[in-house]
Structure 1
């Protein structure tokens, strides 16, 4: 049995055997880090499959580092190391915003001290459930009971579905009620909690809410924090959720220590390049390989590995000691030996596979420990391999210790800021890289090139700190810099520092200081801004005596359709920083440069150019808000309003000396429909009784436009000017006549014109006109029909809801059929298109007396459609074959129904009706139309056989719906035929 298992699983047995052999080696202290030579030789003699099995048996992934030398025959992509080095946590993983999961999805942000969260809080709603809902849930629970082993019955929890999964997505509503006092108390707590939003966690990550007490949330995601709050007994009456706000705090918390992100994003394995040239000062040691090629009388190519005794066995030369010597010295030595001892032979010596060395990274490294690295590795290579330096470790005092002595001190700032690698020396076996704690640190914030927290070494002044930060930005104001520090009394103080002076630059720093450099004011000094509907908006340098035409020298500066008569200017008053708004007439300023229209500009003026098409609220409304903020009881808000027939009605700033014509200019001047003779000015003032009173003033626009001061009144705050419309002014109205008239087309109409008049203008009917089938449609009737259809559909939906409740209690076939019919009718009603048809008698209309009731007064958009003579009779509805038949005088209504195959079982034979060609409807109530039991049929008529809805016990309202749907379909067909 033992042999059969061994033969069947040779790889497994080999793995077990080698693991047993390795385990013996682990008992020896000498094997604490590296396998023995016998173990390496055994590993080399195995097949690649067995080597892979050993790697898997030892827990290696095939990609971790190995202590097997590269010249041992083990493939370099499957190196084995004892113990296996754990991949260090990278800096990128510390930043929640950049970390990702193994699948590449963004890693949820976790709360920490100083984070800002937003709480949402709602009082749980408790109300009584409807009895039918409770009964339905009871039946579902009974149906979803599961049988447990032994025949026991397991009752699923309330809310479990048919599949047995407990826990509904919606929280159950308990059948309880609260008192008004309890509701008021809970609402008061909720209001007090939400009033303090947003909340900031303290430095330990604890949420402090006075009504709830301290709740630790550090390390939780927002979803986990929500669950944490839900477990609080004090919040049992509330539904609380937590939203993390990604706010960046101000102050030193917004600064990051400089340089530590150098090690962010490093790979989990360290594989230094092996194809780089070996420097001449490289010191050879055991494990290195020399590639030797002999050329000349003796030819050969050898790979000579340095043994543990420090020697190589050179063919024909014997052992040669090379360990501890520089590569350049060894190469010259070998070349000399070959030249002297092997006549006629030349040699080429290069480095082959390099040895692996064991170094230690200790102190404040991310993952301190022992590491196997390449013989070409430097201090920074080992730091990368160990995951970098912790935030509490020093970047400026990285020490390389050899044999107990510090041989080199590496300042990583030299590498980061100057690219200096002179101190980044190569490592030797047994070297120790020690990272001491960080030294004195200061913060640099504000308008500098590299804001961060810097570690000080030889820097003591603010000037040296600015040099570390890359200097000031162009927007920085060095004269207003501040230095925050903790004084000797352990108080946080702020000290002003003028970095533009020698004294400020030489101010001494101390650990914990933060130097802040503010930016200059964003306002433009000694400049004028122009924006709006022009070709070259922007800022212009201000010069004393500068006028409007200096920035707008011609009308070509404006874009097409710009309003050149109303240009608005916002000006700041230096004395109180208030604003004044006034307008300018660019056209008048260009025509008379020396007039007051070409006013003198001031620094910080902002000039706005409007266009005539769009509104002006986007610019004027913010200016009005500023003016309203300046208003007082003795200085009301400076604004006036214009409405009516002007091109741009609205509210405008009240300018000094503004008159009626100025307000007309602001409104874009009078519209074409404006009544130019008279306008109304409503003036609001506070009377002697302290109440606001209105005064109506009639304005003679003609005199005001001519410059009469008595009509062109000076305006006051809140004046309201209304421009009237010309009496009976309206857009041009027209109607359309199509079909069998002599001159079909569109006809403009005057106010009160009738159909008889327009028919006369159209030349009257042709000899093929079918006047009885004329279709007259009107737009306002179409809109009225649309509203009625919507109302009917809403009412029918309500009827269907009631019918559904009745059908739920009855399981009969009629109930289900009624619902199906109702749904079909509702769909037809929703899809019906309004036509807006007006039933008319065209022959009577064209022959009517002027002013009679049959002379139809036309409206804009009316349409008259006159078809040709028709000889068809159409049958639709609940018949076997809805079709049209050739008119025959001897046939009646029932005859045409019979010619269509007769009625269906669902037809209502008692309500069959006829729709005449003019749109009128004839039923049995019109007894004069009956002859022989049927309605007299005329050419163009439509016989409608409706659906019998009352047999299925629906509401009687449904019968009217069927008639509406059929009639609309008939009218639409008549219109569409044109």
Structure 2
């Protein structure tokens, strides 16, 4: 297999040379005129080079014949090297996709175009199931971690040179020159006017020294020696590809083409990595020349970022992934639950290290192990002391539990102490008095007549222990020993009563219910409420108080009422109804304070009049008896074009039907309403439109005509529809009033129509209960049948 690959590679190289030299021969005559000033190769366009390359591919000349013909035409070795480079560039652009091109702009180093690529199906094979995964399997699923070689690194000194590598030589100093050499299939590089130099199989350092020695002998005296003034810089530009084979338990075994700078991890990534089901992540052998040169343990890289095993590969290397020896599962309270591979001699402590160790809440005293036997399973318990000596076996399943939500030495204190919370049961903190002292003592509001301990009994039930805390703290009774999980509760006096508050209502700026404070006066409460409103009546303040004292009989009164006179400086000036009340009167819990409003105080109220009046605008209501006619007079009266019948009076946005003409002629009329705040009066101009709506054929608006009556406007709208209720037609006048059709026997009188009116004809209601023809026939048939049956019965 290897001989065949080399032979085909050699034939490919011969054909490449044929193309190069035939191109030179065919262009010899075409470029003769420019030899003196410019190289012949530089004058050819890419299209011409491609065209001649295609013609050269069809030639049957050997490499020696093409080279001899080129030399006879006067071409130099430098011309031949330039032509090789241009043809190689054009071929790479034609045959290589852009996504496979990788060139470093600083070094000019280019990866080979024929490298193997990982398929998308391999890259995306991510296991999304919730089952436990093999540790390390995700390493080769990350598309951003391909381990491709970095082209910017300096050429490794131990890099082994081989065919297709390109070496660049720059000579500077006393002598100058430059060469770009490609290692031939036979392993040599050819410098013009010098014999071929064999470099294949040498390290880059050895090849560099051999080339410098040959250049020194070929005319570059003192090259590379101290004090000569001539130096040579030899670099590796375009690098070759190598083929490596991956066998064993890998996801995609096979032969892969990688860069000669490629590493073992790079090849493993291309093959998808070890098979998680069967492959080993810790016994990966790199075989070179039928000899294992390195055994890779991927755990070293995953856990410690150790890349010593990521060695550089060589052509025909074989990477073999062995079967795993033992898998064990770790689940529960560890940092990385997974399936881990265990090598001989490793202990459970080592495996726990692979998993990142115990989680913070792990139960470490005992680990549950489920182990396979030859016939069934068995359970083992491993203590924390056995971790360093216990040796796992394949198929073991370790489960790390979680610590209990319990405390081995906790006692608690809550309620009216200075520092409630959890404390540890320890020497010096074993009794109730010691616990209260550790909590910085009792608060001043503590209820000392009774405290309680909630204790956990041996059967996990709870029991309550009550005692007199005051006597215990004074030493009048014995101190109470505490045990684990005891919880002491000290009540506050506020816990044993309602929440105290007082309320203030009425003419204050911020009426509210606030928390009761001892020694609060009525003036204090008014101040907290923002003080009196402008309309407050300070000389009439009432306090309503609950009756607390018990009595042997029922009282007629439910509350106690206290009345005060307070000036606006919040000072009590006099008492009313109770001379026993002093200036030191203090509020009690649940008192309600009422601040009354002065009967003559009111805020400004106004009405708005606009339209055809002399002075439209807002007008304040200065009297409780002010009416519509009064505000019209204050507005200067009506303009000549005012339409009195269309005047609209609104209250709270709603039109109040009103006849303004009667208001103006008779101020004592009931139509002359009293004004209220935010009332609105609109006096329009005469409208020339009458609107007809409802059950007519053409609802529309028509012009008003003096000689038209109700039915005339109906005719203007096309007449009644079939479902119109003619007897219920009515007119809505612009001032909000309405007038309907009046019916007496067979006579009806229609309402009058004025300008701006709306004629409305209602529709007949839908008769949803009307029987259909089929239903009427069914009922008639039933009645006929029943009638015949009754006749027959009577005739008998």
TM-score, with structure 1 as normaliser: 0.45
- The answer for the alignment partner of 2:50 in structure 1 is 47
- The answer for the alignment partner of 1:414 in structure 2 is 300
Asked if 2 retains the 8 angstrom alpha-carbon contact of 1:570 and 1:605, the reply is no
Structure 1 residues 528-576: Cα deviation after superposition (integer angstroms, max 9, x where no partner): 7999xxxxx9987678635999699899xxxxxxxx99xxx99975347
- The answer for the alignment partner of 2:398 in structure 1 is 515
Deviation of the 1:361 alpha carbon: 1.0
SS at match of 2:138: helix
What pairs with 1:77-116 in structure 2 (closer than 5 Å)? 79-80=113-114, 87=119, 89-90=121-122, 92-96=124-128
- The answer for the alignment partner of 1:945 in structure 2 is 759
* Inter-partner Cα distance in structure 1 for 2:199 and 2:553: 116
CA RMSD of aligned residues (A): 6.5
Deviation of the 1:435 alpha carbon: 0.8
Name which of 738, 750, 766 aligns with 2:607. 738
Structure 1 residues 859-913: Cα deviation after superposition (integer angstroms, max 9, x where no partner): xxx977351555645744239984998xxxxx86837998x99933367796763
Q: Note closer, same or farther for the CA distance 1:354–1:670 as it changes in structure 2 (3 Å cut).
A: same
Deviation of the 1:374 alpha carbon: 1.6
Deviation of the 1:258 alpha carbon: 1.0
Name which of 7, 28, 36 aligns with 2:12. 36
Q: Note closer, same or farther for the CA distance 1:573–1:329 as it changes in structure 2 (3 Å cut).
A: same
Q: Note closer, same or farther for the CA distance 1:452–1:348 as it changes in structure 2 (3 Å cut).
A: same
- The answer for the alignment partner of 2:435 in structure 1 is 545
SS at match of 1:414: helix
Deviation of the 1:703 alpha carbon: 5.1
* Inter-partner Cα distance in structure 2 for 1:761 and 1:540: 75
* Inter-partner Cα distance in structure 2 for 1:89 and 1:64: 18
- The answer for the alignment partner of 1:784 in structure 2 is none
Deviation of the 1:433 alpha carbon: 0.5
- The answer for the alignment partner of 1:331 in structure 2 is 208
Asked if 2 retains the 8 angstrom alpha-carbon contact of 1:63 and 1:269, the reply is no
Asked if 1 retains the 8 angstrom alpha-carbon contact of 2:627 and 2:672, the reply is no
Query: Are positions 1:905 and 2:722 aligned together?
Result: no
Name which of 288, 299, 304 aligns with 2:165. 288
Name which of 169, 172, 178 aligns with 1:301. 178
- The answer for the alignment partner of 1:343 in structure 2 is 221
Q: Note closer, same or farther for the CA distance 1:670–1:505 as it changes in structure 2 (3 Å cut).
A: farther
Deviation of the 1:340 alpha carbon: 6.1
Asked if 1 retains the 8 angstrom alpha-carbon contact of 2:454 and 2:487, the reply is no
- The answer for the alignment partner of 1:362 in structure 2 is 247
Structure 1: which 5+ runs fail to align? 1-24, 97-114, 116-247, 532-536, 556-563, 582-588, 590-600, 608-654, 677-700, 712-723, 748-757, 779-834, 886-890, 958-978
SS at match of 1:263: helix
Deviation of the 1:702 alpha carbon: 3.6
What pairs with 1:45-194 in structure 2 (closer than 5 Å)? 47=50, 79-80=113-114, 87=119, 89-90=121-122, 92-96=124-128
* Inter-partner Cα distance in structure 1 for 2:207 and 2:551: 112
SS at match of 2:150: coil
Q: Note closer, same or farther for the CA distance 1:57–1:373 as it changes in structure 2 (3 Å cut).
A: closer
Asked if 2 retains the 8 angstrom alpha-carbon contact of 1:360 and 1:369, the reply is yes
Asked if 2 retains the 8 angstrom alpha-carbon contact of 1:62 and 1:77, the reply is no
* Inter-partner Cα distance in structure 2 for 1:461 and 1:709: 87
What pairs with 1:180-579 in structure 2 (closer than 5 Å)? 248=130, 253=131, 255-266=132-143, 272-315=149-192, 317-339=194-216, 342-345=220-223, 346=230, 347-391=232-276, 392-458=278-344, 460-491=346-377, 493-499=378-384, 502-521=385-404, 526=410, 545-546=435-436, 574-575=456-457
Q: Note closer, same or farther for the CA distance 1:855–1:35 as it changes in structure 2 (3 Å cut).
A: farther
SS at match of 2:171: strand
* Inter-partner Cα distance in structure 1 for 2:484 and 2:732: 80
Asked if 1 retains the 8 angstrom alpha-carbon contact of 2:709 and 2:752, the reply is no
Larger radius of gyration: 2
Higher helix share: 1
* Inter-partner Cα distance in structure 2 for 1:838 and 1:93: 80
- The answer for the alignment partner of 2:773 in structure 1 is none
Structure 2: which 5+ runs fail to align? 24-48, 55-86, 224-229, 465-469, 471-481, 506-512, 514-544, 555-589, 610-615, 639-643, 694-698, 769-796
Name whichever of 369-378 and 271-280 sits farther off: 271-280
- The answer for the alignment partner of 1:4 in structure 2 is none
SS at match of 1:425: coil
- The answer for the alignment partner of 2:740 in structure 1 is 923
* Inter-partner Cα distance in structure 1 for 2:386 and 2:118: 52
Asked if 1 retains the 8 angstrom alpha-carbon contact of 2:284 and 2:296, the reply is yes
* Inter-partner Cα distance in structure 2 for 1:476 and 1:746: 82
Structure 1 residues 582-629: Cα deviation after superposition (integer angstroms, max 9, x where no partner): xxxxxxx9xxxxxxxxxxx9999999xxxxxxxxxxxxxxxxxxxxxx
Q: Note closer, same or farther for the CA distance 1:95–1:703 as it changes in structure 2 (3 Å cut).
A: same
Q: Note closer, same or farther for the CA distance 1:742–1:449 as it changes in structure 2 (3 Å cut).
A: closer
